Chain A
Amino acid sequence: MGKTLFDKIWDSHVVKTIDDGPNVLYIDRHFIHEVTSPQAFGGIKARGGKVARPSQVIATPDHNIPTVNQHLTIQDELSRHQVETLKKNCEENGITMYGLNHPYNGIVHVVGPELGITQPGMTIVCGDSHTSTHGAFGSIAFGIGTSEVEMALATQCIMQPKPKSMRINIEGELGKGVTSKDIILYIISKLSTGGGTGYFVEFAGSAIRSLSMEARMTVCNMSIEMGARGGMIAPDETTFEYIKGREQAPKGEAWDKAVAYWKSLVTDADAKFDKELTFDGADIEPMITYGTNPGMGAKVCENIPTLESIEDSSQGSFQKSMEYMGFAAGDKLEGKQVDYVFVGSCTNGRIEDLRAFCEAVKGKQKAESVTAWIVPGSKQVEKQAIEEGLKEQLEAAGFELRQPGCSACLAMNDDKIPAGKYAVATSNRNFEGRQGPGSRTMLASPLTAAAAAVTGVVTDPRTIFNL
């Protein structure tokens, strides 16, 4: 029987198999940031050990950093201490760090791909669940806890049971105004937040193949939101084209060798998945979430489900969620008030996202009632946005381009949505309080965010933009 893409990469990275236990898995690249690494370095120090392969570890502070006045020291004492601790740990262990104000600083999952560090066939981990983003290149990439960060730092290996395999095919053409964010929100709404638990997912099908590299990253990024360990897409010409020439991409002869190997990284025709699902791209429309987990999503033009349509055992949790959001079952989504718009994060903070947003709001104005935060995913994205004139376009429409970081995605810095306020966010989580205590988040694509930003209410982007 043939092998899946996942099997090919996984099997070639197993150092040892433990009977009725996990595999010892070798890790090619390990990204670290300030929040989930200090205790791991602490553990290594306490054992009297050291970082095993510092050249395979890349650090960037992102979760805690401010998105204004980055040239000043970080005001929040605890955040500053965490960022300084990362710097110190990296210096002591010879790890490359793209610190605050470094031209390569940014959200770890934006930085890896744009520097060409992320490549097909690799195993990649980071103490952050959205590490799945890197799977868009045909690598096995997944988030780990701090104990595993310590394992990876100390030995360049972690212990993992091999997950089950799932393939999700999206076939056909996508409609106007439908983005890769809508694809993944649609899939999660069908599978629920636990539907992928225990699986590693390969996304395939003609609609996926047609996506740009950045759009593919958005899909893989949110694999974790359906519970999956990670998501991946087989590398192809789009992938090679994106990587070619990037700073850490193989060059010259090494490039040819790499591409020849990468071309072998596809699922064999006779390979079997534990589960396989197929959706029609034509069924997908602009999506938005209405509840407090990413599985609670609907088409923007639809209503919130009625209570009767929810399984009995889940009705209590559904109602708790509606109360938190200040919505009622069955409500129409279009026209719901929006106070904040957040464009950014490792899901939708790349240049194509900013371009799409800018293009949509061109010639329009931000609604007075809306506070908007447009946050590039990295210094390089920021630079490009300025060079392409996007910053000016945004300002002309009443928006401001901030400095890069995770920002309001998890609100560890000052970018917090106030209690009770509604935010349309291009990030990935709408949990209670995720964007600040009491904040109410509705997840959507940059286009749907643009529609909300100019109207001040939830709006189907197809109704107001020329798409």
Chain B
Amino acid sequence: MPIDKFVTVQTSFVPMPIENVDTDQIIPARFLKATTKDGFGDNLFYDWRYEKDGSPKADFVLNNPAYSGTVLVAGKNFGSGSSREHAAWAIAGYGFKAVVSSFFADIFRGNSLNNGVLPVQVSEAFLAGLFKAVDADNKAEVKIDLENQTITNVSTGESEGFEINSYKKNCLMNGYDDIDYLLSLSEEIEAYEAQAVKF
């Protein structure tokens, strides 16, 4: 299934200056009972976002109309915890195209890439700059250019490069997915099996 192609985005962003945001917060386990990938965006950050009776918590950033945009900017070590890809589906389903943080958990990074959501790892200083900019102006913008692998704090003009391997970059820019690629390797896989250790 092709994923959405990633094009350069320039957008206001949603700030979440909390460290160690784990996948149980992104999507609590009780929402993992679905058998399709649909509808997870509605439950993104559910326990932070809603009261017990289902009414929105006014002080949570996603419920604050002052903040908007298709990029989530979060504190260090985002996405730790379980391997649930539901976390990436929830983020993609909500409409985020990229998540910016100074550090990502490994499995989350892979899962987001497989769903066309770009994890952008920046320096602590750059991250602090983004939080400062959005403090001063709710509608401060960030620009992410995948082709040139740069991210810009539009308010200050400050730019930084970010890393992504060229294989994944190519996949995201063209909307390719890994499964199609692996399926094309069936001969190599059989050749591997023929020589593998067996007892």
B80 at the interface (CB under 8 A from A): yes
Which residues of chain A come closer than 8 Å to B111, judged between CB atoms? 145-147
Question: 10 more A-B contacts (CB under 8 A) besides A26-B193, A194-B20?
Answer: A15-B188, A39-B36, A46-B1, A78-B34, A85-B35, A147-B114, A194-B77, A194-B103, A227-B105, A429-B82
Q: Chain B: interface residue count, which band?
A: 35 or more
| A409-438 at interface with B (beta carbon < 8 Å) | 410-412, 419, 429, 431-434, 437
The residue on B at minimum CB distance from A18 is B167
Contacts of B37 in A (CB 8 A): 39
Interface residues of A (CB under 8 A from B): 12, 15-16, 18-22, 24, 26, 35-36, 38-39, 42-43, 46-47, 49, 63-64, 76, 78-79, 81-82, 85, 121, 127-129, 131, 143-148, 150-151, 154-159, 161, 163, 193-194, 197-198, 227, 229, 250, 254-255, 257-258, 261, 293, 313-314, 316-317, 320, 410-412, 419, 429, 431-434, 437
Contact partner of A121 (CB less than 8 A), chosen from B52, B165, B197, is: B197
Q: List 24 A-B contacts (CB under 8 A).
A: A15-B192, A20-B165, A21-B166, A22-B168, A35-B33, A38-B36, A39-B35, A143-B107, A146-B85, A147-B178, A158-B178, A159-B181, A193-B77, A193-B80, A197-B103, A197-B104, A227-B77, A261-B197, A293-B20, A313-B19, A316-B18, A320-B18, A412-B29, A437-B28
Count chain A CB atoms within 10 A of each CB in B22, B82, B111 and give the residue with the most. Answer: B82
* 9 closest residue pairs by CB, A with B: A21-B167, A145-B85, A38-B35, A78-B33, A143-B83, A147-B114, A145-B111, A146-B85, A317-B19
How far apart sit A313 and B166, CA to CA, in the bound complex (Å)?
Answer: 33
Q: Does B182 contact A (CB under 8 A)?
A: yes
| Residue among A79, A255, A432 facing the most chain B CB atoms (10 A cut-off) | A432
Interface-central residue, A46, A47, A129, by most chain B CB under 10 Å:
A129
Would you call B182 and A159 a contact (CB within 8 A)? Answer: yes
Binding site for A on B (CB under 8 A): 1, 17-20, 22, 24-25, 28-30, 32-37, 47, 52, 75-77, 80-86, 88, 103-107, 110-111, 114-115, 124, 165-168, 177-179, 181-183, 185-186, 188-189, 192-193, 196-197, 199
Which residues of B have CB within 8 Å of A18?
Answer: 167
- Inter-subunit contact A129/B82 (CB<8 Å): yes
- Find the A residue at minimum CB distance from B35: A38
Report yes or no: B179 in contact with A147, Cβ–Cβ below 8 A.
yes
Give chain A nearest CB distance to B120 CB in angstroms: 16
Q: Which residues of B contact A146 (CB under 8 A)?
A: 85-86, 111
In Å, the complex CA distance between A186 and B152 comes to: 40
Judge whether A36 and B85 touch: CB under 8 Å.
yes
Known: A154-B179, A432-B25, A432-B47. A147 touches B167 (CB 8 A): no
B178 to A: closest C-beta gap in Å: 5
The CA of A197 and the CA of B102, in the complex, are separated in Å by 13
Max chain A C-beta neighbours (<10 A), residue from B34, B104, B199: B199
From A21, A42, A85, A198, give the contact of B106 (CB < 8 A).
Answer: A198
The interface residues of chain A lying within 8 Å CB-to-CB of B196 are 12, 26
Partner of A431, one of B22, B36, B106, B177: B22
Q: Which residues of B contact A16 (CB under 8 A)?
A: 185, 188
CA distance A58 to B157 in the complex (A): 53
Given A16-B188, A157-B185, do A145 and B110 touch, yes or no (CB 8 Å)?
A: yes
Contacts of A128 in B (CB 8 A): 82-83
Q: Is there contact, CB below 8 Å, between A82 and B77?
A: no
Give the Cβ gap from A27 to chain B, nearest Cβ, in Å.
Answer: 10
Cross-chain pair count, CB within 8 angstroms: 195
Q: Which residues of B contact A21 (CB under 8 A)?
A: 165-168
In the complex, A288→B121 CA distance in Å?
A: 32
The reply to whether A433 and B28 contact each other, CB–CB distance below 8 Å, is yes
User: Which A residues are in CB contact (< 8 Å) with B165?
Assistant: 20-22, 161
Is there an interface contact between A410 and B29, defined as CB atoms closer than 8 Å? yes
Residue contact B103 to A411, C-beta cutoff 8 Å: no
Q: Which residues of the partner chain B approach A254 to less than 8 Å between Cβ atoms?
A: 199
CB distance from A131 to the nearest CB of B (A): 8
Interface centre among A128, A131, A145, A314 (most CB of B within 10 A): A145
> Known: A121-B197, A317-B75. Contact between A147 and B85, CB under 8 A?
yes
A258 vs B30: C-alpha distance when bound (angstroms): 42
Determine the residue in chain A with the shortest Cβ distance to B29: A410
Asked if A197 and B182 sit within 8 Å, CB to CB, the answer is: no
- B29 lies within 8 A of A434 (CB): yes
Cβ of B107 and Cβ of A155 under 8 Å apart?
no
A180 to B33, CA, bound (A): 33
Complex contacts, A320 vs chain B, CB 8 Å: 18
Residues of chain A within 8 A (CB-CB) of B167 are 18-22
Q: Which residue of B lies closest to A26 (CB)?
A: B192
- CB of B177 to closest CB in A, whole Å: 8
Q: A145, B182: Cβ atoms under 8 Å?
A: no
Q: Which of A12, A16, A21, A194 has the most CB of B within 10 A?
A: A194
